[in-house]
A and B are shown apart, each in its own frame.
Chain A
Amino acid sequence: MEEQPVNFVVFSGTEDKLQALAVMTAGAAALGKQVNIFLQYWGLEAFSKERIDADLGLAPEAGAAGKARVEAAAKAGQAAWAETLRQAKELGEVDIQACSLSMDVLGLEESDLDPLVDGVEGVTAFYLNAGQGQIVFI
């Protein structure tokens, strides 16, 4: 069987979840796997030019102690999630698409998005590109 892509649906837009996405994507790209990323809601908003370098906060379960640990890792030189994704895109086949419905809901135009985003598509196109590969929802 031909190797299947790894597919991520990114719904959440907090730093920790985007960091996890970036790490999973970079690892897959380093192994030569195709990665498809579909951005919805707050995950999409995080890829807007306005938000991409902003502090997007953490998931509620982080708490104060978790926040302190994440901040310490950033201070110690952990790369920002957007930078890790840029490197992953240079390295391998990583396609990042914005969900057209979410674009509508959030009132975003394609020109509002960071260049990391390759385009806008609907859910049908996402499923087509996902093939028989697993779909991970973040």
Chain B
Amino acid sequence: MGTLTYLLRRILQIPVVLVVTTLTIFIVVRATPGDPVELVLGMQTSPDAVEALRVKFHLDKPLYQQYLIWLWDVLHGDLGSSVRLNRPVTQMLGERLWVSLQLATAAMLFALIVSIPLGIVAAIRRNTWVDYVATGYTVLGFSIPNFALALILIYVFSVTLDWLPITGIGSSTTRGGGVWKFISPFILPAIALGTVQTAYLGRLLRSSMIDVLSQDYIRTARAKGLKPLVVITIHALKNAMIPFVTMVAIHFGYLIGIQITIEYIFAIPGMGLAVLTAVVNRDFPVIQGFTLVIAVFFLLVNMIADMLYTLLDPRIRY
């Protein structure tokens, strides 16, 4: 199968996946107890007000019609508005996604800064104490939950040393306060969030480096007298990066999916917390909208990862 056919098939699958996810959430929201309108208006309001709100959100119509109306609006670029905040869902989504992307980028930067040297050095000094220390680090990195690490970091760097702020991402006070004022609130959340990725990516790069370093063309490069640094960076690293880059793409999406505890601790107004509040308040237009956008986002991330794979390694054909 050619790459183009494969891509086309993937794109055709997207609507199916989207309908399945949104319909599932739609049914779960309706099947679980708790009336959003009553939650918003409270018990004391007049039946007329309740009825008006019900009509406004199409809650008076049968279930399948509600879903179809929602779908129709989505196709026209309208995700409705929040029951609770009376704001358009698209606007909320934009803000939240932007913050989440910033945090994920910061965490991924941290992961790259640590994992690339870690992977290279561990591969070159394979089976020496350097490698064992690196392995020990990755093992620990895998087993500490990000929110536990976040608490330790806060205790050390904010409570005890008072070097870094705990909160500040996405808040208005950091605007216009210079570069440090903007960057500093990202440091602790990025480390807490990205540490698992440093372990994962570091281990991945180590094994693919070891793989590449045992290839014939590396021996040739060494034999013809190239400097070790040139061999390692230009010949080996370039090829070892293929699986690495794909995983970076996948893990970037993954970072957004696991942010929620970090957002909770550092009071970051990102996607995760938005989902949590919407779900607790049964703010169904927001839940539906976020489900859709998150599903689209992750479908795209997976597709980009696949495409990167074929682009970087011409041997792979679907």
> Is the pairing of A and B real?
no
